[in-house]
Structure 1
Amino acid sequence: MGSAVATPTLETETLTESITPSAAAATADNALGERFTKADIVRFMLGFLICGLLWVVPFAASSQVLLPQRFRDEGFANPTALIAQLNAVGAAVALIANLVFGALSDRSRSRFGRRTPYMVIGSALAGLSLFLAALAPSIPLILLCWAGFQLGLNALLAPFLAVLSDRVPDTKRAQMSAAYGFGVTIGSTLGTIVGAWFITNQLTGFIIAGIALGIAGLATALTWPKEPSAANMPHVAFSVRSLLMSFKPPTQNCGDFYKALVGRLLIMLGYYMIISYQLYVVEDYIGQDAQTAAATIALVSVCSMVASLVSMVVSGPLSDKIGRRKPLVIACAVIIAIGFAVPFVWPTATAMYVFGAVAGFGLGIYNTCDQALNVDVLPSKEEAGKDLGILNLSNTFGQIFGPIVTSILFGVLGTYKPVFVLSIVALLASIIFIATIRKAK
């Protein structure tokens, strides 16, 4: 576990060294007219990594281990359906929050910048709500706290991801996406490990998770070069109608935008059908008790992390060098599907480790290239926050419908086997939409 903590520094250095020598000087202007120096590259990469790490650790620990185990330990009825309900409520909030905070940050004219205030306040709200979810004594209150968590989390993430369009030149976006992917990948593993460590002491685990999430926005903003003031940007006259129109989905030059949306939705749907129930898959499908299952999924996550980091080290610089995103995103869907097929045909703990490594390798490619692809298909740079918020609804809907589909199939058939089949079908169907995008290579 010590090596896992040290990995971000080592891998970030590897990516930084891959930048061409011309990046030693100012390399490009971003959308705000800032000069992009080598020092800026390093600071932005670290900021993307830190944010990914600090929000995913709490999310993975709470959603994949601590809350599912709490539901069983405290005797809540039908915990499998309760997880689906939890994800549905939280994701429904995220659906609205993504659009609202993306659009509001586009229109913000704060002297602290358009994105920074939302990131700082959003992460603090999310961290507090996550901690309160550990104390909530009833299902309605747990659901309310989880909704608050998703509200704050999306107030952080919608403006955060818009920075990729605002402040990062297009020649560096895959590398920044890779740095963010490092944080997400390492955070997923560490989150599962933290959850496993505290599976019998859940309150402490929730406290650690809440603190990490609560400081994510501030830590990221302090790591990045200071965002320029937005106070002097042209103001948009405020009215209820103009505010509502700012949430309007794009309607012109947007065919590729919606293909990327559907393709990403199918990848996330297939992914969350399995990942959201990882603990129960190991307990019920593989047949392990709670503590053994917690140790198993911790090791699965380590396998996934190592494989993801390897794939990101290669795919991030490769994508920027060849100027292509689509072949790599298609490859990620195929590889994840292959990983999911292993425990389907071989339901053992060893198969889960193979599943973690193979699917993790594919997910690493996804984390590296998908956000860069999303930025490439944006219809309007001026509305990047709102439009990226719409694209990120694919994650939201994946989180909503993935667990719901799994809950229905398991409730009717009493086995996770058909869940694996349908998740693989969804992953492979995404290829149809990604392959037909024309605006990006």
Structure 2
Amino acid sequence: MRFLALYALAAAGGSVSYAPFLSLLFPARVAAEWGDQGLQVLSLTAFVGAISASLANIAFGWLSDRTGGRRGWIFAGVILSGILLVAIQMVQDLTAIIAMIVIWQVALNMMLAPLAAWAGDCVPHEQKGTLGGLLSMSPAMGAVMGAIATVPGFLSVEMRPAFIAACVAVMVLPVVLLGRPRPMPQLMIDLPEDERMSDGHSHTQVVRMWIARLLVQIAEAALFAFQLFWFRSIAEDFTENDTALVFVLVLSGSVPMALLAGRWSDRIRRPVLPLEIAAGCSAVGLLFMGLSADIMSGVISYVFFGISSGVFLALHSSQTLRVLPRPSTRGRDLGLFNLTNTVPSLIMPWLALALVPVFGFDALFLVLGGLCALACLLLLTMRRL
């Protein structure tokens, strides 16, 4: 449990390393410096950053597999990404800024990819649900640190990236320097193909888990991007602060629910059952969102969906470690799973543009609800782990 606590702190530091910068600090700078061109600048950097992050995550996961150690990569990633985050603030030319963000994303994934794989090396299967519950705190911590960094009068604009970099180091380095997990040799052995198949670790299981996460991530990404527009389509006076409060409510509700669901799945030894329930509840929440006619029912439906999808994504992150077929390629394989976090940002805008202008948000929510229902069906019909 000591290692789990330090690891959960480090995972939260991983969220802090990118969430405040990408969601608050950099967009604010873009708006101030590029004005009407800000949307194009943000879209370009988001697209290039997503591609570089995806490739770097796979590469550093594979490198940490080949070298047989995770700590050194995590330590180097913390230091390099922190230095680059501060350096971005000093660059003025747009081309140079985009290049710096790409390099920063590479350094960031030097830390994130081995950190994710390390849990698979050290956390036994009977604690995977607990691990998933602890991981649910990461998005909330990213949001909290972003709010602290942007408190008016607390820090100058120039000091905010340095503050974030220092927080990341304080949160991640303790597990690298002080974490002493018990050896888990049973988690590091590549079983023969026939034993993996009999144990439920077939390629079909992996593909089902990958597709299920992708489907829920598409729905979650779409709601994150367009929730303010939808709320205002129901109530024109719904403000940005109202949306932020709803988002805080979702985050604060998903953490205890994920912790309870994770511990429950460990006790009953049904690791996929909470994922099935959460995916089904996400579909129901989206269905009610599509049927909502007033702001109160809309907010309640969104909170229900947000908590359900948050629980799903947190627990899925830990249970994925259970189905990966080969420990010797765990880091690389997790990098491939990480594509489910970046691919939705490429799919979601086109899906929204195709549906919302013609059919409205109701049609979008029904389609997204169908995706979550399909994810639930994929998990329900998967061989029991």
TM-score, structure 1 length as denominator? Answer: 0.71
- Cα distance, 1:69–1:412 mapped onto 2, change above 3 Å: farther
Corresponding residue of 1:65: 24
Q: Quick one: which of 398, 418, 424 aligns to 2:344?
A: 398
In the TM superposition, what is the alpha-carbon distance from 1:82 to its structure 2 partner?
Answer: 4.3
In the TM superposition, what is the alpha-carbon distance from 1:91 to its structure 2 partner?
Answer: 1.6
* Distance in structure 2 (CA, Å) of the matches to 1:86 and 1:283: 27
In the TM superposition, what is the alpha-carbon distance from 1:62 to its structure 2 partner?
Answer: 2.5
* Structure 1 position 190 matched with structure 2 position 144: yes
Q: Quick one: which of 253, 256, 266 aligns to 1:310?
A: 256
* Distance in structure 1 (CA, Å) of the matches to 2:164 and 2:222: 24
The gaps in structure 2 that reach 5 residues or longer are 189-200
CA offsets per residue over residues 32-73 of structure 1, 9 Å max, x none?
xxxxxxxxx2x2221222122222234332333333344334
In the TM superposition, what is the alpha-carbon distance from 1:151 to its structure 2 partner?
Answer: 1.5
Corresponding residue of 1:336: 282
Contact 1:274 1:419 in 2 (8 A): no
Contact 2:209 2:320 in 1 (8 A): yes
Alignment map for 1:10-409 (pairs within 5 Å): 41=1, 43-77=2-36, 79-109=38-68, 114-182=69-137, 184-191=138-145, 193-194=147-148, 197=151, 202-225=157-180, 253-276=202-225, 287=236, 293=240, 295-340=241-286, 346=292, 354=300, 357-403=303-349, 405-406=351-352, 408-409=353-354
* Distance in structure 2 (CA, Å) of the matches to 1:63 and 1:348: 32
- Cα distance, 1:213–1:260 mapped onto 2, change above 3 Å: same
Q: Quick one: which of 405, 421, 428 aligns to 2:373?
A: 428
- Cα distance, 1:156–1:287 mapped onto 2, change above 3 Å: farther
- Cα distance, 1:119–1:370 mapped onto 2, change above 3 Å: same
* Distance in structure 2 (CA, Å) of the matches to 1:190 and 1:79: 25
Contact 2:11 2:172 in 1 (8 A): no
- Cα distance, 1:347–1:191 mapped onto 2, change above 3 Å: farther
In the alignment of these two chains, the number of paired residues is 369
Which amino acid is 1:358 matched to?
F
Which amino acid is 2:373 matched to?
L
Which amino acid is 2:109 matched to?
N
Contact 2:20 2:146 in 1 (8 A): yes
Contact 2:128 2:319 in 1 (8 A): no
In the TM superposition, what is the alpha-carbon distance from 1:284 to its structure 2 partner?
Answer: 8.4
In the TM superposition, what is the alpha-carbon distance from 1:341 to its structure 2 partner?
Answer: 5.5
TM-score, structure 2 length as denominator? Answer: 0.80
Contact 2:149 2:164 in 1 (8 A): no
* Distance in structure 2 (CA, Å) of the matches to 1:384 and 1:224: 20
In the TM superposition, what is the alpha-carbon distance from 1:158 to its structure 2 partner?
Answer: 1.6
Secondary structure of the equivalent of 2:18? helix
- Cα distance, 1:373–1:313 mapped onto 2, change above 3 Å: closer
Which amino acid is 2:339 matched to?
L
* Distance in structure 1 (CA, Å) of the matches to 2:93 and 2:130: 44
In the TM superposition, what is the alpha-carbon distance from 1:190 to its structure 2 partner?
Answer: 0.9
In the TM superposition, what is the alpha-carbon distance from 1:308 to its structure 2 partner?
Answer: 0.9
* Distance in structure 2 (CA, Å) of the matches to 1:279 and 1:65: 16
- Cα distance, 1:72–1:419 mapped onto 2, change above 3 Å: farther
Secondary structure of the equivalent of 2:80? helix
- Cα distance, 1:383–1:422 mapped onto 2, change above 3 Å: same
- Cα distance, 1:194–1:351 mapped onto 2, change above 3 Å: farther
* Distance in structure 1 (CA, Å) of the matches to 2:232 and 2:26: 15
Alignment RMSD: 3.6
In proportion to residue count, which structure has more helix? 2
* Distance in structure 2 (CA, Å) of the matches to 1:377 and 1:119: 24
Secondary structure of the equivalent of 1:197? coil
Q: Percent sequence identity over matched residues?
A: 21
- Cα distance, 1:92–1:411 mapped onto 2, change above 3 Å: farther
In the TM superposition, what is the alpha-carbon distance from 1:409 to its structure 2 partner?
Answer: 4.9
Contact 1:376 1:439 in 2 (8 A): no
In the TM superposition, what is the alpha-carbon distance from 1:108 to its structure 2 partner?
Answer: 0.9
- Cα distance, 1:339–1:128 mapped onto 2, change above 3 Å: farther
* Distance in structure 2 (CA, Å) of the matches to 1:311 and 1:126: 32
* Distance in structure 1 (CA, Å) of the matches to 2:32 and 2:229: 13
